[in-house]
Amino acid sequence: MEESPISRTQPLFSIPVDINHKATEFNPFSISSPHMKAFHLAWFSLFSCFFSTFSIPPLLPIIREDLHLSQSDVGNAAVASFAGSIFSRLVMGPACDLMGPRIASATLSLITAPIVLSTSFISSPQAFILIRFLIGFCLANFVANQFWMSSMFSGRVVGIANGFAAGWANVGSGVTQLLMPLIYSFFFKTLNLSSSTAWRVAFIFPAVFQVITAIMVLAFGQDLPDGNYKHVKKNKTSADHNNNAFSILFNGLKNYRGWILGIIYGFCFGVELTTDNIIAQYFYDRFSLDIETAGVIAASFGFANIVSRPAGGVVSDEMGRRFGMRGRLWSLWVVQMVAGLLCYFLGRMNSLWGSILVMCCFSLFVQAASGLTFGVVPFVSNRSLGVISGMTGSGGTLGAVVTQLLLFSGGGSKISTEKGISIMGLMMLICSTSLTLIYFPKYGGMFCGPSKQNHDPSHYHLLA
C-alpha cells in the first residue's frame, strides 16, 4: 500500500495503522502509544466515573435509614441521577468534537469529583436527591470514551475497541457494589465508627479515585494518532473551518439514525443502568439478605461487563466483515430481543438461585447489546461523530429515566419491583423493532441492500 505524504513526516507506530494512522489491530493487553495507551486511559477514567455514580445504591439500606428516606425519595433520587446524565452527555458530544476527548474527559472528572465527596455531608432527602442528580453528570464521560476509541481505531476494529473500552469501564458499576459495603463495614465494624459516620467517610474513596484518573488522562493521554486536538487543528485545511459548533451539532441532530440508536441504547444500556440502581436493594428486600451478600450478588451483574460488552463489539465487527451493515444490525436486534426475554423472566423468578442464574444470563446479553449498538454508531456520521455518540449515550440515560420513573420510583402506581422488571423486559422487546427503520445508502439496512445511486460517503461512515 502506498504511503501517504503525512505518514512520511510521522514516526512509525508499533501497531499496524491505516492511511489516517488509526490502528487496524486491537490488543487490549498492549500499552503501545498512542493507540493502546489511549484505550487504557479511556476505560480506566470511565471506570472511576461508574464507580462514583453507583457508589450510593449498595449503601442505600443504610443511607435511607439514616436520612429517613421514603421509597418515593429513593426512586426520585434514582431518576435524578439519570436525568443529570442526559444533558451532560448531549453537551459532551460537541465538546469532544471541538476540544478533543482528553480535555473533555478530564475536565468532567475534575468538576464532578467534589460533588461525589459532598455526599458525605448530606443530611436531608432533598440534599440526597440533588447530589444524585449532580453525580449523574459523571456518566457523560462515556461519550468521551467512545469518541476517543473511534478517533484511534479504524472501522474494522472500532466495534471491538468501543466494546472493550466501555465494557471494562462498566465493571466499575459492579466493583462499587462489592467494595462500598466492604469499605463501610471496615469503618463501622473494624474502626468502630458510628453507622452514620462510616457511610459518609466511605465516599472519600470514589472522589479521590476519580481525581487520580483525571490527572492520568491529562498527563499521559493523546487525542489523536498524530497528536492532541489543539496541535492537529492548526494543520487543518481551510475547508475544515466550516465545521463550527453549530454546523456540527445541526448535522448530527438531523440524522435520524442517531435518534433510533438512542432509542435502542435507551433499552439496553438504559435498562442496565436501572438494574444497577435497583438490584442490590431488590435482593436485600425480597430475599432478606444482609447488605454484604446483596452487594456481592449485585456486583456479579456489573462484573459481566468484562466479557459481555467486548463480546458485543467482537460480534459486531465480525458480522460486519461477513455481511456488512446488515450483519451488524441483525446481530444487535437478536441479542437485544434475547436480553428482553431474560429481563421478563427475571421478574418472574421466585427462588434466590433461580433469580441469580437468570440475572447473570440477562447481564451477558443486555451488556452485549450495548457493545453491538456502538459497533454501529461510528458509521453514522464522520463529521458529527461526537454529536451522534452524545445522542446515543443520552438515549441510554433517558431510557433509564423512563424505566426508573415509570416502574421503580415508588409513586402512586405501586408496581412491585419484580413486576416492574418484567415490564421493563417487554419494553425492550417493543423498542428493538425500531432497528428495522435504519438504512444507510452506502451499506443498506436489515432488509435492503445498498443504494445504487451516487451519495456522499463522508456523511455516513467512519473510514475515509
pLDDT tens digits, one per residue of 67-101: 999 888 888 888 888 888 888 888 888 888 888 89
3-class secondary structure, 244: coil
3-class secondary structure, 192: coil
- DSSP codes, 168-190: HHHTHHHHHHHHHHHHHHIIIII
Q: What is the rounded distance in angstroms from the CA atom of residue 53 to the CA atom of residue 88? A: 14
The pLDDT score that the predictor gives to residue 305 is: 84
Residue 234 binned pLDDT confidence (cut-offs 50, 70, 90): low
* Residues pairing with 224 in the sheet: 227
Within its chain, how far is the Cα of 453 from the centroid?
A: 36
Q: Which three cell numbers stand for residue 403?
A: 424505566
Please state whether 227 falls in left (phi above 0), alpha (psi between -120 and 50) or beta. Answer: left
**The pLDDT of residue 29 is above 50:** yes
Q: Give the least confident one: 214-223, 246-255, 343-352, 376-385.
A: 246-255
Q: What is the rounded distance in angstroms from the CA atom of residue 93 to the CA atom of residue 106? A: 14
Within its chain, how far is the Cα of 397 from the centroid?
A: 9
**The pLDDT of residue 8 is above 50:** no
Q: Where are the alpha helices (DSSP H) in 186-324?
A: 195-202, 204-220, 229-234, 245-253, 256-266, 269-286, 291-303, 308-323
pLDDT tens digits, one per residue of 93-126: 888 888 889 999 999 999 999 999 999 999 999 9
Q: Which three cell numbers stand for residue 399?
A: 431510557
Top CATH class, 32-228+246-459: mainly alpha
Q: For 369-374, what is the mean pLDDT? A: 91
Within its chain, how far is the Cα of 196 from the centroid?
A: 31
Higher pLDDT, 11 or 128: 128
The listed range with the strongest mean pLDDT (36-50, 263-277, 311-325, 377-391) is: 36-50
Domain ranges for the chain: 32-228+246-459
Please report which helix (H) or strand (E) contains residue 44, including its range. helix 35-53
The pLDDT score that the predictor gives to residue 235 is: 56
Q: For 280-292, what is the mean pLDDT? A: 86
Q: For 335-340, what is the mean pLDDT? A: 96
Beta carbons of 434 and 264 less than 8 angstroms apart = yes
Q: For 123-137, what is the mean pLDDT? A: 93
Residue 397 binned pLDDT confidence (cut-offs 50, 70, 90): confident
DSSP state of 55: S
The pLDDT score that the predictor gives to residue 2 is: 39
Please report which helix (H) or strand (E) contains residue 128, including its range. helix 125-135
